[in-house]
Amino acid sequence: MRTLQVKLGDRSYPIYLGEGLLARAGEFLKEAGCGERVGVVTNPTVAGLYLKPFQEALSRAGFRVTSILVADGEEHKSLKSLAAVYDQLIRARFDRGSCIVALGGGVIGDLAGFAAATFLRGVPYVQVPTTLLAQVDSSVGGKTGINHREGKNLIGAFYQPRVVVIDLAALRTLPRREFLAGLAEVVKYGIIEDPALFALLEEKLERVIALEPDLLEEAVGASCAIKARVVEKDEREEDYRSVLNFGHTIGHALESLTAYEKFLHGEAIAIGMTQAASISVRQGLCDEESRRRIGLLLRKAGLPTEIPSLIRVEDLVKKMEVDKKSAGGKVKFVLCEGIGKTQFCWLSAEEIAARLSA
Ligand code: NAD
Ligand code: GLY
């Protein structure tokens, strides 16, 4: 087992990661000071796989558990699901000393985290992420929220968990496509901050995809360590935290243009990262060899790297302009300076279109 720390003063918390940690959750919740009442928010897919043993582990440690099920899917990261979670917390007479646990992927983590941030003006919560994306990204850093019909994640709060418990064994039941989409975020950490992680993926990709425990621990641990460092520097995304958006400006635009139906988030990000690397080369920031390595690694992982031919660059750029990260007609782009270093760059629609089409 590996332990990392997210150091945020009185909001600091540990991340535990290793194989079989779901069975030890009671111990971690106790250490985090969680009260006797625990509400486990999850969905039917994850519940079918893990809820019973998880509940038993918490009961063995003396917790009284109420399970709260939300339907599976991004469309259920909604006000309606949130209201249903509040209803159940109120019906079960949860109080300020009670604790919420998010058991699932990023959808459950964001929703349960936001419920915790707002119920009774804030109760403690614990992230138990079960997808690779949630383990390396959404469970760490305290971004919580729900979607609005006008856009994703429009309602939310920064609210840090008390502890993050990552059981790598949960990845064994994750559909391969979901795993590979999560891997795109691991590649992202390599590009933005960690050449050694990038090289590890290049060298041992097949073994990571085969879920070899030591390699998984290395890759997930390195990713969480970077995420923790970024969040420690800029918890509320006033500046540096947006480095985590490498590949996301184009990725989000692609997801939106394809109605969130064609690509999983990580797949769109893989295309976004490859295109961001190409723009970086054309800006004179990145060498051609690094761009080649980024594209090659993502393709080897079975991820897409090209903008689909049906999508027009003008439409893509228009979407980026309305993205919440645009200001004064320019879009804040994260560009890479080779592998392991980035630079922010404000680009106009014309500049992006020109560099994407070159
Ligand atoms: P998800 O939560 O929808 O999970 C994907 C699928 O995998 C679901 O069907 C889920 O039921 C299933 N699943 C989960 N764990 C499983 C397991 N161990 N075995 C089998 N199936 C399993 O998707 P996701 O990719 O985990 O998360 C996406 C969400 O995360 C989006 O809403 C996104 O906005 C959010 N997100 C948040 C942050 C943040 O910082 N808070 C960062 C990135 C993404
Ligand atoms: N996933 C981006 C962030 O946490 O800031």
- Cα–chain center distance at 172: 18
Reduce the DSSP state of residue 154 to 3 states and report it: strand
> Ligand 1, atom 2: nearest CA belongs to which residue?
105
Reduce the DSSP state of residue 150 to 3 states and report it: coil
**221 lies in the same domain as 317:** yes
**137 lies in the same domain as 254:** no
pLDDT tens per residue, range 126-149: 999 999 999 999 999 999 999 999
- Nearest atom within ligand 2 for CA of residue 244: 2
> Ligand 2, atom 2: nearest CA belongs to which residue?
244
**191 lies in the same domain as 329:** yes
- Nearest atom within ligand 2 for CA of residue 241: 5
Domain membership of residue 38 as a residue range: 2-173
Q: Residue 343: beta bridge partners?
A: 335
Residue to mutate (ligand 1; options 40, 107, 147; most atoms within 8 A of CB): 107
**87 lies in the same domain as 156:** yes
CATH number of the domain that 221 lies in?
1.20.1090.10
Boundary (domain end) residue, out of 127, 158, 173: 173
pTM value surpassing 0.85: yes
Cα 134 to averaged position of ligand 1 atoms, centre (Å): 6
Boundary (domain end) residue, out of 130, 156, 173: 173
Query: With contact defined as beta carbons under 8 Å apart, do 130 and 40 qualify?
Result: no
Say which DSSP state 75 is in.
Answer: G
pLDDT tens per residue, range 31-50: 999 999 999 999 999 999 99
**214 lies in the same domain as 236:** yes
User: Model confidence at 267, in pLDDT bands (50, 70, 90)?
Assistant: very high
Q: How far apart are CA 28 and CA 24, in angstroms?
A: 7
Residue 71 Cβ inside 6 Å of ligand 1? The answer reads no
Query: With contact defined as beta carbons under 8 Å apart, do 23 and 53 qualify?
Result: yes
**244 lies in the same domain as 233:** yes
The predicted model gives 274-292 an average pLDDT of 96
CATH number of the domain that 148 lies in?
3.40.50.1970
- Nearest atom within ligand 1 for CA of residue 45: 11
> Ligand 1, atom 17: nearest CA belongs to which residue?
174
User: Model confidence at 324, in pLDDT bands (50, 70, 90)?
Assistant: low
**149 lies in the same domain as 231:** no
- Joined together, the tokens standing for residue 103 give 């058991």
Q: Please count the structural domains in the chain.
A: 2
**117 lies in the same domain as 258:** no
The predicted model gives 102-121 an average pLDDT of 98
**71 lies in the same domain as 159:** yes
Reduce the DSSP state of residue 161 to 3 states and report it: coil
- Judged against a pLDDT cut of 70, whether residue 327 lies above it is answered with no
Cα 357 to averaged position of ligand 1 atoms, centre (Å): 33
Cα 260 to averaged position of ligand 2 atoms, centre (Å): 19
> Ligand 2, atom 3: nearest CA belongs to which residue?
244
- Nearest atom within ligand 2 for CA of residue 140: 4
E-strand ranges in 19-178 read 37-42, 64-69, 99-104, 125-129, 143-148, 151-158, 163-167
Tokens 């690779």 sit at which residue?
132
Catalytic residues: 121, 143, 185, 227, 237, 241, 245, 248, 252, 265
Boundary (domain end) residue, out of 173, 204, 233: 173
Query: With contact defined as beta carbons under 8 Å apart, do 13 and 160 qualify?
Result: yes
- Cα–chain center distance at 54: 22
- Judged against a pLDDT cut of 90, whether residue 150 lies above it is answered with no
> Ligand 1, atom 37: nearest CA belongs to which residue?
138
Whose CA is closest to 303, among 218, 170, 168, 186?
186
**36 lies in the same domain as 137:** yes
Cα 29 to averaged position of ligand 2 atoms, centre (Å): 24
pLDDT above 90 as % of the chain: 91
Query: What per-residue string of b and e applies to 172-194 under the rule 16 or more CB within 10 Å gives b?
Result: eebeeebbbbbbbbbbbbbbbbb
φ/ψ (deg, to 5) at 325: -90, 10
Give Cβ neighbours of residue 306 (< 8 Å, ≥ 6 apart): 271, 274
Query: What per-residue string of b and e applies to 294-333 under the rule 16 or more CB within 10 Å gives b?
Result: bbebbeebbbbbebeeebeeeebbebbeebeebeeeebbb
Q: How far apart are CA 197 and CA 308, in angstroms?
A: 29
**140 lies in the same domain as 258:** no
**160 lies in the same domain as 190:** no
Residue to mutate (ligand 2; options 8, 127, 137, 273; most atoms within 8 A of CB): 137
Q: How far apart are CA 197 and CA 191, in angstroms?
A: 9
Helices (H), 172-309: 176-193, 195-209, 213-233, 248-257, 265-282, 288-300
